[in-house]
């Protein structure tokens, strides 16, 4: 398993592999971050960076790329339709649908922490994590805003 996270003090990105150390010192601001390696192994029960137990699962695929491919296919199929190229229109539409399905099957999951946005990749199989939930995300976002206001 590997984890990507950002320094809570200066937002410098960091990356670590399991077995995780108990402490990580930020190379930029020297802030020491106390990790919880026991959360990460054998199963990821809670975030090893901030200790938060709520994590979500999503496909490890840049969403903008997916949308761009879809948009390009729409434009292309409209153009071929306009020029009465029916065979091409259908090939593009069906091709993009098949491509989408393949991507969905091939792309691995990434587990993300709601609170600190740490990304966990290459997890052992069979990890039970729930898909992204907007209400939970919203709760953490507001909590974070309140914390920033207090500072
Ligand atoms: Zn830092
Ligand atoms: Zn976290």
Ligand 2 mean position, distance from CA 103 (Å): 27
Alpha-helix runs per DSSP H in 1-151: 63-82, 86-106, 134-150
DSSP per position, 35-46: --GGGTSSS--S
Q: How far is the CA of 55 from the centre of ligand 2 (A)?
A: 8
24-36 average pLDDT score: 95
Domain boundaries, the chain: 2-60+108-150, 63-106
Question: Which pLDDT band, with edges at 50, 70 and 90, does 36 fall under?
Answer: very high
Residue-level pLDDT at 82: 83
Q: Is the pLDDT of residue 43 over 90?
A: no
Are 40 and 3 a contacting pair, CB within 8 Å?
A: yes
Phi then psi for residue 40, to 5 deg, are -90, -30
Distances in whole angstroms, Cα of residue 5 to Cα of each of 56, 63, 65, 80 = 15, 19, 22, 45
**Assigned token pair, 90:** 């259908």
Task: List pLDDT tens digits, range 94-134.
Answer: 888 898 888 878 888 899 999 999 999 988 766 678 999 99
Distance 27 CA to ligand 1 centre (A): 7
């Amino acid at each position: 398993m590997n984890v990507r996270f950002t320094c809570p003090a200066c937002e410098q990105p960091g990356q670590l592999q399991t077995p995780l150390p108990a402490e990580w010192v930020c190379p930029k601001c020297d802030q020491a971050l106390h990790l919880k390696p026991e959360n990460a192994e054998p199963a990821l029960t809670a975030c090893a960076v901030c200790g938060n137990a709520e994590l979500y699962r999503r496909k490890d695929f840049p969403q903008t790329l997916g949308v761009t491919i879809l948009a390009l296919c729409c434009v292309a199929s409209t153009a071929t339709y306009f020029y009465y190229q029916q065979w091409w229109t259908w090939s593009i539409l069906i091709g993009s649908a098949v491509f989408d399905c393949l991507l969905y099957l091939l792309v691995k999951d990434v587990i993300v922490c709601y609170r600190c946005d740490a990304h966990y990749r290459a997890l052992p199989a069979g990890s039970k994590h729930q898909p992204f939930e907007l209400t939970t995300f919203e709760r953490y976002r507001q909590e974070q805003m309140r914390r920033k206001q207090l500072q």
